[in-house]
Structure 1
Amino acid sequence: MKKYIAILFVAGAAGALALAGCDKPAPRDGGQAWVAEGKTMGTFYRVTLASPPAGVLAGLQDSISRQLEQDNHELSTYQQDTVLSRFNHYPGTDPQPVSANMADIVTTALRIGAKTGGAMDVTVGPLVNLWGFGPDKQPRTMPDQRQIDQARARVGLRHLRLIEDDKGQWLQKDLPDLYVDLSTLGEGAATDHLAALLERRGITRYLVSVGGAVVSRGLSPQGVPWRVAIQRPTDKEIDAQAVVDLQGHGISTSGSYRNYYELQGKRVSHIIDPVTGRPIEHKLVSATVIATTALEADGWDTGLMVLGSEKAQALAEQQGLAVYLISKTATGFATWMSPQFKSYIISQEDASADTAHRQ
């Protein structure tokens, strides 16, 4: 379940930079900023450094590319030779070795999956593929209930187990044809991995994004905290709904209004409910989460999107999550934020004339 790019970067106090792709790092801007950006995991990445010491830049672009290639080699379901693809295609149920990075992602997935009552389910791959949002092509007709039931029979976190011992980490399935899809967590994981790469080089002022996941540390090139704008649910590339100060945390947004297709006169969202086996149809269109890591935020936002507004609000309050929701109404959009999210807000625009800023 790929996320759309719903994050804008606010440079200093004003001005927004939409994500764009290129394969070479941008030149330093008056000695103040260094930017590398490009494509990865079917989306875009961007690394911005504020006033980096000249010595840390040597070979940095190559290191960034290698890290992203490593993540893609482990997590991609579009390539047949990746670690995850080999696990999915393995016809048995014996434990299979995985890296520590993948083990961390699966651990997060299982924990958040349990807390969302299975709404965030990384085994939802058969349903994602059935509806045409995985490696398989878009269906020509709506899947029928028999097809949905057959796919659902191969879905469930209870069929997936992570084993850790003194020899390493192992992933095990009790259904030979279980299909694990970690794309919903891949962007957050890759963002954290790039941040860790920068930290190892002694870089302490940066903003990193992969798709809809972002993490930051320190101050921007303007000497103020990094600020990120949450995209309003429109087709406009730069249209901020709210601006937040990340305070060194990770943020991730998941939404239903950009990644979809029309089939037989009906709009089909890429976000699949594992319980019903069908794309979501409720009014929640965007869920943003701020957490200590981008991976954590990336896992929660998908689960909340599946649950819908009311259940997402209740779970956010129960778990003490920093959450910002945008829901469609009869006259526009309505917003809701948890008490934990309020401390990050710099500004927010009215969502709709009738129900703006429901809190």
Structure 2
Amino acid sequence: MSRAVLQPVIAVALVAALTGCLHSEKIESFGGPTMGSTYSVKYVQAEGVAPKAELQAATEAILAEIDEQMSTYRSDSLIEVFNRSPSGSCQDMPEGVLDLVAAGNRLHEESGGAFDLTLEPLLDLWGFGPKGQGEAVPSEQQLAEVRQRVGQQHLRIEDGKLCKDADIEVDFNSIAAGYAVDRIIARLGELGVRSYLVEATGELKAAGLKPDGKHWRIGLEEPRDDQRVAQRILQLDGYGISTSGDYRNYFEEGGQRYSHTLDPMSGKPVNHTLAAVTVADPSTLRADGLSTLLMVLGPQAGIAFAERNQLAAFFVTREGDGFATYSTTEFEQLFAAGDEQ
């Protein structure tokens, strides 16, 4: 499973004090490859926390399970077997897959279809998917044909099985990383970890205090193609963070930029001034899906959706040669105390 987008959030502890008033506590870390990108775990090694090797083994077991069940980049994954099955078929699925479909259904319904888990044929058509033949603008006829194979309304859960009544293909890349972060955190908690910063392919969550008594801090990246600059610094405690943007994975043709974020309504890349959107939510899975949803909706409809649903969201729009930002009330209330420019 892979997102070609590089990490849109700078997932680093900006103040990595290794010692504090409790000299037996220190920050430990480990990481590695996952989902075509990387993951990292930073945590406070304190009394009652399992050894580092055990924590890493538990983390990588979860990531391996997710890959085996949900990757669209391996033909033997459970979801790819389902994707190759004919219309009208059902397949037994583990709880994790069904949980992701249920979460996707909720986002699909809340957004009026702006979020859709069945975009893989369109992603392949535009060259962004696992079976893409190279990035190129398709013809209107090609687009019309592929759109017949898209639509989350054709996907349903029935008696523990995943079923489809059209020739659709499911792609979890819009929520799988957030789900992975939440799964990892739950397991680390069982192994005694109370203070952590866990990140997978740019989606992250942090909670607890470091040994110096301070919260974990991360930087939101300015949506630039040429360099990586922290636009805003946030202090986290118990919230997942997800950023979606159009500035890492795109191609240009005829002087026009085509983003990897597709609008399910048109089947085409989004075409608006929203460059990036960040969402904070106690569920990293939900933050992951909401950032995609808001990116599809664009600045006006996205801000209206965020305000209406009381989301903690931070929008960055292109204005001329620069950027303008907008924060919802919930975002400012959540991060005002620890925010630093």
Q: Does 1:40 align with 2:34?
A: yes
Distance 1:276 1:110 in 2: 19
Query: Would you say how many aligned residue pairs link Structure 1 and Structure 2?
Result: 331
- Compute the RMSD of aligned alpha carbons: 2.1
Q: Does 1:255 align with 2:245?
A: yes
* Shift in alpha-carbon separation, 1:35–1:311, aligned structure 2, 3 A: same
Q: Does 1:244 align with 2:244?
A: no
Residue 157 (structure 1) aligned to one of 152, 157, 179: 152
Q: Does 1:205 align with 2:199?
A: no
* Shift in alpha-carbon separation, 1:51–1:127, aligned structure 2, 3 A: same
* Shift in alpha-carbon separation, 1:155–1:62, aligned structure 2, 3 A: same
Residue 13 (structure 2) aligned to one of 2, 5, 11: 11
* Shift in alpha-carbon separation, 1:190–1:237, aligned structure 2, 3 A: farther
* One-letter amino acid of the structure 2 residue matched with residue 66 of structure 1: A
Match of 1:172 in 2: 163
- 1:302 CA drift (Å): 0.3
Aligned 8 A contact 1:12 1:225 in 2: no
Q: For structure 2, which runs of at least 5 residues remain unmatched after alignment?
A: 18-22
Greater shift in the superposed pair: 193-202 or 134-143:
134-143
Match of 1:353 in 2: none
Aligned 8 A contact 1:4 1:254 in 2: no
Match of 1:71 in 2: 66
Distance 2:53 2:153 in 1: 46
Distance 1:221 1:39 in 2: 28
Secondary structure of 1:59 counterpart: helix
Match of 1:59 in 2: 54
Q: Does 1:230 align with 2:214?
A: no
Match of 2:44 in 1: 50
After TM superposition, the structure 1 = structure 2 runs for residues 1-359 of structure 1, keeping only pairs within 5 Å, are 2=3, 3-9=5-11, 11=13, 32-53=26-47, 55-139=50-134, 141-163=136-158, 165=159, 169-175=160-166, 177-235=167-225, 238-345=228-335, 346-347=338-339, 349=341
Match of 1:24 in 2: none
Distance 2:13 2:301 in 1: 35
- 1:340 CA drift (Å): 0.6
* Shift in alpha-carbon separation, 1:14–1:78, aligned structure 2, 3 A: closer
- 1:338 CA drift (Å): 0.7
* Shift in alpha-carbon separation, 1:331–1:236, aligned structure 2, 3 A: closer
Aligned 8 A contact 2:128 2:135 in 1: no
Aligned 8 A contact 1:187 1:210 in 2: yes
Secondary structure of 1:80 counterpart: coil
* Shift in alpha-carbon separation, 1:348–1:312, aligned structure 2, 3 A: farther
TM-score (norm 2): 0.91
TM-score (norm 1): 0.87
Secondary structure of 2:41 counterpart: strand
Aligned 8 A contact 1:68 1:190 in 2: yes
Aligned 8 A contact 1:11 1:220 in 2: no
- 1:96 CA drift (Å): 1.1
- 1:247 CA drift (Å): 2.0
- 1:94 CA drift (Å): 2.8
* Shift in alpha-carbon separation, 1:178–1:304, aligned structure 2, 3 A: same
Greater shift in the superposed pair: 97-106 or 1-10:
1-10
- 1:121 CA drift (Å): 0.5
Distance 1:310 1:31 in 2: 47
Aligned 8 A contact 1:253 1:287 in 2: yes
Aligned 8 A contact 1:49 1:206 in 2: yes
Aligned 8 A contact 1:216 1:249 in 2: yes
- Provide the identity percentage: 36
